[in-house]
Amino acid sequence: MKWDNLRVFLAVARAGQILGAARKLGLDQATASRRIGALEADLGATLFERHTSGVILTPAGERLLPIAERMESDAMQAQSAVGQGDVSLAGTVRIGAPDGFGNFFLAPLLTEMAEAHRELRIQLVPLPRSFSLSKREADIAITLERPTEGRLFARKLTDYTLGLYASRAYLDRVGPVETMDDLRKCLFVTYVQDLIWSPALDYGQPFLDRCRQVLECASIVGQMQALARGGVGIVHDYTAANVPGLVPVLPEVSLTLSYWIVSHADVRGLRRVTELIDFITARVEASRTAFVRG
């Protein structure tokens, strides 16, 4: 068996289609198909069932998958170990993060890490509703809940608080908001309810019926931009400072959630991954007072 063919096998198994895997590997579809065919010939077994919508692992493919993943992990560990003596970090690390943490806290910090290690490619991607570290959709994930399944390592980063905010200009238009009943004159800005991908994000529900009208935005960045012009909404205390003129409303409304930093067992030994985890953890620790309302 050739390792290159096993790499193609892993990519196809994770993508669920040959074309998508080929694009990710920088191959054409015909080459990827030939590699899979060669691997099947070497093993004397069919690894995928082909369908018009993609491919599905056969029982033989299911048996090969964990073996190939261990070989991939060993190859990455060897690559990392050889480079231990080098000061620089190299390779690609993909980080999945909620858009609030990713955009308002993490993105500015990652420029520092990128400039310090010119051969390191860092990818910051939004954390979607369905996300898999085991399929290499990311090397590091920032999550709102501690994972309970899979070969994952999780460390609590920090608690963070959220509160109800509005712009000074909006409060000048609608009048002061000093009680929960005052919300009946307000526009409430929140997440799109049927796109909420974690129970931890469903904190706007109690306010939907209290306010005059509801504006739903699928990202915290959109919510913050909307609140700059009008409405009230629940946002992270640490992000509120990024919008000039945004002030807390009803200080008794306060929620506490947590961030966790998670990696898969197969990449945990990679130096570029562990150093990024340590970097993020240290910067969060240094900014801990900003995450929790005093």
| 182: CATH | 3.40.190.10
Same domain, 46 and 33: yes
Identify the domain boundary among 56, 83, 110. 83
Average pLDDT on 165-172 reads 94
Same domain, 93 and 234: no
Q: Which of 127-131, 202-206, 257-261, 264-268 has the lowest mean pLDDT?
A: 127-131
Residue 1: partners with Cβ closer than 8 Å, 6 or more residues away: 39, 42, 43
Q: Which pLDDT band holds residue 85 (cuts at 50, 70, 90)?
A: very low
For the chain, give the mean pLDDT: 86
Q: What is the pLDDT of residue 30?
A: 93
Amino acid residing at 71: M
Q: What is the pLDDT of residue 4?
A: 87
Q: What is the pLDDT of residue 258?
A: 94
Quote the pTM value.
0.71
Which SS3 state, helix, strand or coil, does residue 259 take? strand
pLDDT for residue 208 is more than 80: yes
Same domain, 265 and 281: yes
Same domain, 93 and 230: no
Same domain, 71 and 211: no
Task: Give tens-digit pLDDT for 96-131.
Answer: 999 889 999 999 999 988 888 888 889 998 876 556
Domain of 227 in residue numbering reads as: 161-256
CB-based burial, 105-135: b 16+ in 10 Å, e otherwise: bbeeebeebeeebeebebebeebeeebebee
- Counted domains in the chain: 3
Q: Which of 6-15, 64-73, 158-167 has the lowest mean pLDDT?
A: 64-73
Average pLDDT on 40-69 reads 90
Identify the domain boundary among 24, 58, 83. 83
pLDDT for residue 88 is more than 90: no
Q: Which pLDDT band holds residue 87 (cuts at 50, 70, 90)?
A: very low
Q: Which pLDDT band holds residue 236 (cuts at 50, 70, 90)?
A: very high
CATH number of the domain at 12, please. 1.10.10.10
pLDDT for residue 86 is more than 50: no
- Whether the CB-CB separation of 214 and 208 falls below 8 Å is answered with yes
- Whether the CB-CB separation of 222 and 243 falls below 8 Å is answered with no
Same domain, 245 and 203: yes
pLDDT top residue among 271 and 261: 261
Same domain, 142 and 187: no
pLDDT for residue 139 is more than 90: no
Same domain, 242 and 119: no
Same domain, 166 and 52: no
Same domain, 278 and 249: no
Same domain, 167 and 211: yes
Q: What is the pLDDT of residue 150?
A: 75
pLDDT top residue among 77 and 151: 151
Q: What is the pLDDT of residue 59?
A: 92
Same domain, 154 and 277: yes
Task: Give tens-digit pLDDT for 181-202.
Answer: 999 999 999 988 888 777 777 8
Q: Which pLDDT band holds residue 135 (cuts at 50, 70, 90)?
A: low
Q: Of all helices (H) and strands (E), which one includes residue 276?
A: helix 271-286
Give the C-alpha separation, 41 to 62, whole Å. Answer: 17
